Structure 1
């Protein structure tokens, strides 16, 4: 009988991260998707004091069966980024709340290093515990 060993992730001791509020994770130049759920749409619309229909028209786009926030056409920044600050920070989507601990960013040390080239807060500040990293990564899988 074979005994299967569970592979221990390379970041089991934790990863250092401190948000420097630079806004780079929300800024262009590449186009991307910030997926929003129905619940998040309702929450953001309520925060902005507009209807969900108005939110969808002004701030979102349909991509297949999913919905994404739009970017500014001139620079591909998130439509809610102003002066390096999130205008909807308290109700921002899960995708934003879990950065940089997305599964694709933590699969290998090399992936983490590549992500650090985009995000100056990586490998700075306090060590985030393994459990927090795992919880955030689980929240980004689909």
Structure 2
């Protein structure tokens, strides 16, 4: 497994982001029958070549949403009240009605090794990220459209989906 090369990743994103987003929009409108199965297969491939600990871009550039359960669990782990936890680290986004980190990178990310200091109790949003093989994957296409520019695993997944769908078109023709 190779560490993430951020320069190369940023370059690929700049070059392909629009095309990837258009592709995902088409998939969202007319998903192939086997999309969930394809996502399952690609997920295994992607994690064979992606090293999250060499990246942590999600923790550095994005913020998870914190559910009430997350806040209760994490604040208990930190021996704080939920109110004190929210006051210290979160803000409430009125538009989306979500609790989110006040700052980036995430306050729980150890920048020396890219490990999470609350990994055992991390938010559900973090535990599921980048949501590559969620069932009814079509319902997560909008998430992937956003994540391709932050997450090498998502980028790799979309790239592989495009290749597979193109190969199938070629076979049918």
Task: State the TM bucket, normalised to the shorter chain.
Answer: 0.5 to 0.7
- Per-residue Cα deviation, 1:62-116 (whole angstroms, up to 9, x for no partner): 1113211221xxxx31122122221111111111111122523786xxx5xx72x
What is the root-mean-square deviation of aligned Cα atoms in Å?
A: 3.0
What is the distance in 2 between the residues matched to 1:63 and 1:79? 18
**Greater fraction strand:** 1
Match of 2:84 among 45, 49, 54: 54
Q: Which consecutive aligned stretches of 4+ in structure 1 deviate over 3 angstroms post-superposition?
A: 104-107, 117-124
CA, structure 1 residues 120+49, in 2 after alignment: closer, same or farther (shift >3 Å)?
Answer: same
Which structure 1 residue ranges, 5 or more long, are not aligned?
1-5, 125-142
**Separation in 1, partners of 2:39, 2:124:** 22
**1:69 corresponds to:** 101
The structure with the greater share of residues assigned to helix is 2
Aligned length: 107
Q: Flag the structure with more relative contact order, 1 or 2, with Cα contacts below 8 A and sequence separation at least 6.
A: 1
Using the size of structure 1 for normalisation, the TM-score is 0.61
Normalising by structure 2, report the TM-score.
0.51
Counting only pairs closer than 5 Å after superposition, residues 35-114 of structure 1 correspond to structure 2 as 35-64=65-94, 65-71=97-103, 76-83=104-111, 84-101=114-131, 103-104=140-141
Once the two structures are TM-superposed, the CA of residue 59 in structure 1 deviates from its matched residue by 1.1
